[in-house]
């Protein structure tokens, strides 16, 4: 029996939960499906160090495997400045803070912070 793939909204919630549990900082999420055919959702987060960036990417990847969602990852073999996970409908960028500031994807996409729910 084949299980159905989670919707982009369900996938976004799962990824945001993993990032929150793993203490990712300055997490942003945006529905970009109307702006581009690239993906439905873009998530941007920061780690506190290179090790934290790698750890966040590993945790998100582990969860995606667990729920049987295929994805590609790039930057895992790099310096820990930036890792991207592409799960098709949802793209996740995890940055070291200085690298995030340098590339400023928020400005490129016109994103603003989403307040954390209490």
Domain membership flag for residue 2 = no
Query: What pLDDT is attached to residue 118?
Result: 36
**C-alpha–C-alpha distance, residues 81 and 86, integer Å:** 17
Domain membership flag for residue 3 = no
**C-alpha–C-alpha distance, residues 107 and 19, integer Å:** 22
Domain membership flag for residue 27 = yes
pLDDT in tens, 42-93: 999 999 999 999 999 999 999 999 999 999 999 988 888 999 999 999 999 9
Query: What pLDDT is attached to residue 45?
Result: 96
Domain membership flag for residue 114 = no
Contact between 43 and 58 (Cβ < 8 Å): no
Domain membership flag for residue 22 = yes
Domain membership flag for residue 48 = yes
Number of folded domains that form the chain:
1
Domain membership flag for residue 32 = yes
The predicted model scores a pTM of 0.87
Query: What pLDDT is attached to residue 90?
Result: 96
Domain membership flag for residue 55 = yes
What is the domain-level CATH number for residue 25? 3.30.460.10
* Mean pLDDT for the stretch of residues 17-45: 92
**Which residue range forms the structural domain that includes residue 33?**
8-106
**C-alpha–C-alpha distance, residues 99 and 115, integer Å:** 22
What is the share, in percent, of the chain residues with pLDDT greater than 90?
67
């Amino acid at each position: 029996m084949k299980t159905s793939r989670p919707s982009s909204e369900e996938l976004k919630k799962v990824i945001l939960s993993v990032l929150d549990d793993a203490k990712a900082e300055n997490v942003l999420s945006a529905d970009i499906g109307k702006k581009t055919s690239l993906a439905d959702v873009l998530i941007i987060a920061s780690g506190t160090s290179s090790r934290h960036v790698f750890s966040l990417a590993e945790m998100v990847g582990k969860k995606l495997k667990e729920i049987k969602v295929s994805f590609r990852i790039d930057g895992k073999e790099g310096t820990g400045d930036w890792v991207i996970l592409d799960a098709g409908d949802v793209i996740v960028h995890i940055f070291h803070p200085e690298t995030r500031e340098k590339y400023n994807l928020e400005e490129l996409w016109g994103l603003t912070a989403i307040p954390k729910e209490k």
